[in-house]
Amino acid sequence: MLNNVNEIVIMKNDKGIALILTLFSLLFISLLIVAFLDTITIDQQIATNQIKDMQASFFADAGIEYAIYKLKNDNSYDTDSNENGDVYPNDDDYDTDNLGAGSYKVGIPTGTLPKTIISTGTMGTFNRSLEVIIYGSGSSVRIESWNELEEGV
C-alpha cells in the first residue's frame, strides 16, 4: 500500500513539470518567431536600399545621356553660366532634371572636345556619380571612358 501512495505523489508532481515545460516551449517558440520577423525586416530594408542605390545609378546614367544628346546637337553646349570655367561639382553650374522620385545633376564644361562630364544621380538619400570623357563633334560623339566615382559627389 505504501507503493501506491508514492505513485500518487509522483503523478501530482509530474503535472507541475508539464506546465513548466509547456511554458518554456511557448517562450522558446515566441523568441524564434521574433528573431524570424526581425530577420525579415532587416532583409527587406537591405533590398530597398539596393533598389534605391541602383536607381541613383540609373539617374546618373540619364544625366550622361542628356549631356551626350546636348553635345550631339551642339558641340559647344556647356553648363558654365557664369563663364568662370568651372562646372558641377566644383561650381553651381549644372543642368538638372527631376525624374519621378529621383533626379540628376550634370556639369558640361566649356571648350572644345574632349570634355570631362560629371553626373550625379540621386534617389532619396542615395547618390551615384559618373565621370565620362567624350571626344568627337556633332553627331559623331565618342565616349573615351565611363567611370563610376567612388563616392557620390
Higher pLDDT, 42 or 113: 42
Q: pLDDT, tens digit, for every residue of 71-112? A: 888 878 899 988 888 898 888 999 999 988 999 999 999 887
What are the tens digits of pLDDT across the range 50-80?
999 999 999 999 999 999 999 888 878 899 9
Enumerate the domain spans of the chain. Answer: 2-148
pLDDT of 1 over the 70 cut: no
The contacts of residue 108 (CB under 8 Å, 6+ apart) are 67, 70, 71, 77, 78, 79, 80, 87, 95, 115, 117
List pLDDT tens digits, range 15-30: 678 888 999 999 999 9
* Cβ-Cβ contacts under 8 Å for 89 (sequence gap 6 or more): 107, 118, 120, 129, 153
Measure the CA–CA gap between 48 and 55, rounded to whole angstroms. 11
106: which residues sit within 8 A by CB, 6+ positions away? Answer: 63, 64, 66, 67, 79, 88, 94, 95, 96, 117, 118, 119, 120
pLDDT at 148 over 80: yes
Q: What is the pTM of this model?
A: 0.76
